């Protein structure tokens, strides 16, 4: 069965579509839990693989607060800083364990909640992340095309007859290998530079 390449590139475009929440779109007023979960469902719902998958639930948010991954809410209300931390957690949890996320974010939340005059602006960190994410998604599209062409060339060099499912299998293996290497590097960075700062 021939799998149309235009459909494959359509999927790449869909994945590369930059739909992150801009810092200016995060409410400046404090929100109650129901408002927080509604905001995330409306703004990030398009990222769900399955319609039944939650973006963030009340239980998740309460657990993040209990585990000190986010700063505690004030009078059961969540500020813009909470919202930014929750967006970062949502991005991180696609790849990392909650323990790794805690190791990464705890030094930041400690600094934010300390009484010392700190120079850390969570909004600046977030806007820098948004810039980086946009660049990464753009380069992902370009790299994908060269990766796919390379797979086709390798199959051709080995005189393997054109077989679209085989091309897709090798493409998936290639993407998984890249994701695995990146995940391992992230874990090593966390283990070497963040776990000791608890």
The low-confidence residues of the chain, meaning pLDDT below 50, are 197-198
- Which residues, other chains included, contact 88 with Cβ-Cβ below 8 Å and sequence gap of 6+? 105, 126, 129
pLDDT at 40: 96
pLDDT at 118: 64
Model confidence over 22-69: pLDDT tens digits? 999 999 999 999 999 999 999 999 889 898 888 999 999 999 999 999
pLDDT at 198: 47
Using CA atoms, how far apart are residues 115 and 43, in angstroms rounded to an integer? 33
Using CA atoms, how far apart are residues 56 and 50, in angstroms rounded to an integer? 14
Tell me if 87 sits within 8 A of 126, measured CB to CB.
yes
pLDDT at 196: 65
């Amino acid at each position: 069965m021939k799998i149309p390449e235009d459909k494959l590139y359509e999927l790449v475009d869909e994945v590369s579509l930059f739909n992150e929440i801009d810092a200016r779109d995060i409410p400046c007023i404090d929100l109650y839990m129901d408002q927080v979960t509604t905001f995330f469902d409306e703004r990030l719902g398009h990222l769900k693989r399955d319609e039944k998958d939650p973006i963030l639930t009340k239980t998740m948010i309460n657990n993040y607060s209990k585990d000190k991954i986010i700063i505690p809410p004030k009078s059961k209300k969540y500020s813009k800083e909470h919202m930014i931390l929750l967006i970062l957690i949502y991005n991180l949890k696609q790849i990392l364990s909650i323990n790794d996320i805690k190791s990464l974010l705890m030094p930041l939340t400690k600094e934010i909640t300390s009484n010392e005059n700190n120079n850390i602006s969570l909004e600046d960190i977030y806007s820098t992340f948004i810039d980086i994410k946009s660049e990464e998604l753009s380069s992902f599209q370009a790299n994908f095309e060269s990766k796919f062409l390379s797979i086709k060339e390798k199959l051709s060099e080995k005189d393997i007859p054109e077989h679209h499912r085989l091309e897709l299998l090798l493409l998936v293996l290639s993407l998984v290998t890249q994701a695995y290497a990146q995940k391992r590097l992230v874990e090593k960075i966390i283990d070497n530079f963040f776990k000791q700062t608890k």
